Amino acid sequence: MSTHPSRPSYAAVLRVPHARRTFAAALAARLSYGTVSLAVLLSVTRATGSYAVSGAVMSLFGAMTVFLMPFRASLIDRHGPRRALPVMAAVYGVLLCALAALTWRPGAHAAAVAGAAALAGACAPPLGPTMRALWADLVPDRALLQRAYSLDGVAEELLYVSGPVLVGALVGFAPPASGILLSALLIVGGTCAFVMSPVMPGPRPAAEKGRRAGVRGLLPPVAVALGVGLTLSGVDLLAAVFAAERSYDPALVPWVLGALSAGSAMGGLVNGAVAWRAHARTRLCWFAVGLGAVVAAGGLAPGLWSLTGAMALAGAFIAPALTTAYLLADESAAEGSRTQAGAWVNTAVNAGCAGGALVTGLLIGRFPLAVCFTAAGATALAAALAAALGGRSPLPAARRREGATVAAGGEGAVARTGAGEGAAGRR
């Protein structure tokens, strides 16, 4: 199904039959994940009058979304996205509407709000992993698949930037809970359009015994995704502390984080355009090393603008690391577990993002800020070491032959957000 020249481009990805229609529908649905977090935070805070309650609700919602994702992805593999995704999206949309109703006006009961948020998170459709598994079906050529994954990751990053802006515009004339209703509309409508694509596969064949993507096969991509998530969330907090300690205007901090995102987007585009000769696992380790080294050095920046430059350079390693992690997970997985394999990478990066700020917060105040930056970078370096030492599971014979063919053509054997699920693809 691949229609591309000898040197594939991003335009070639979108020229693949049905790719534009399918990708656009998936992005419309995934925009819901860019809007829902801020909408839930604002509406729960307004309805309960408590930041503590809104923080607890967000934690429940995030935990149920992230840690149950591999299970939901296994249902996609087992029953096929055309059957499983509409059910998940419908239940998730209904629960979001219930949450919006509970928080529409002040005076909501905290327990009811928390229960609705937790149930909604448990049903969130794994659209990012599903789209990445579908890319592998649409684009069997591994060189072009690298570009498809890079394009997917950069687009998802833009969703997580534009989603909060959209909610901010909406709450200017409507209650914050209207943002939750918008998220429900996006997920249901976008998912319905997504599953109606003519290239949407049915149930995948069950993974054969001994050829399943096991713990050893997924260790390198999952370890690096976890390390990237830990480093990223630590940097978010450290940039704010850096500005406060040196008496910079707090309004400048978003520029530092914006440079990180811009660097990630540029790095993702460049990574997708390069005809890599090194194996994906080797590249994965070096991307993690680059991220960790630059973040650690960022603690030595003399001022906020030099820190901004360092963060832009650090960002250039983020999207390539996550894109390569998804590619390696796809390579390690048998046909019956590819969506689930991608979901484990997605879960790892989101779990890292959730835990990194907590760990960094414990370090700040106890150690000099430069040491805290070094610790944040060290998590990515440790992830690179784990990926280098981690085992690999054997590939199905057909996929080994495919990798060998690509390697013979001058490419590596193996060429997301949100976020993501962005920042890779997070959900």
Triad 172, 91, 124: Cα angle to 5°:
70
Q: Average pLDDT in the 262-274 region?
A: 87
Check whether 421 has a pLDDT greater than 70.
Answer: no
Check whether 216 has a pLDDT greater than 70.
Answer: no
Q: How many CB atoms lie within 10 A of CB 251?
A: 8
Q: Average pLDDT in the 140-158 region?
A: 84
76 neighbors 62 (Cβ within 8 angstroms):
no
Q: Average pLDDT in the 292-299 region?
A: 93
Tell me the sheet residues that pair with 364.
367
218 neighbors 207 (Cβ within 8 angstroms):
no
Q: State pTM to two decimals.
A: 0.78
Check whether 86 has a pLDDT greater than 70.
Answer: yes
Per-residue pLDDT band for 180 (boundaries 50, 70, 90) equals: very high
Structure tokens at 386: 């784990």
* Segment among 77-86, 276-285, 349-358, 385-394 with least mean pLDDT: 385-394
For 184-202, how does the pLDDT look when each residue is reduced to its tens digit (9 = 90+)?
A: 999 999 999 999 998 887 6
Q: How many CB atoms lie within 10 A of CB 265?
A: 23
For 62-83, how does the pLDDT look when each residue is reduced to its tens digit (9 = 90+)?
A: 889 888 998 998 899 888 899 9
Q: Average pLDDT in the 155-173 region?
A: 86
Tell me the sheet residues that pair with 367.
364
Check whether 405 has a pLDDT greater than 80.
Answer: no
Selection from 142, 106, 144 nearest residue 13 by Cα: 144
Angle between helices 81-102 and 19-48 (to 10 degrees): 20
**Cα(109)–Cα(266) distance, integer angstroms:** 45
For 98-133, how does the pLDDT look when each residue is reduced to its tens digit (9 = 90+)?
A: 999 999 998 889 999 999 999 999 999 999 889 988
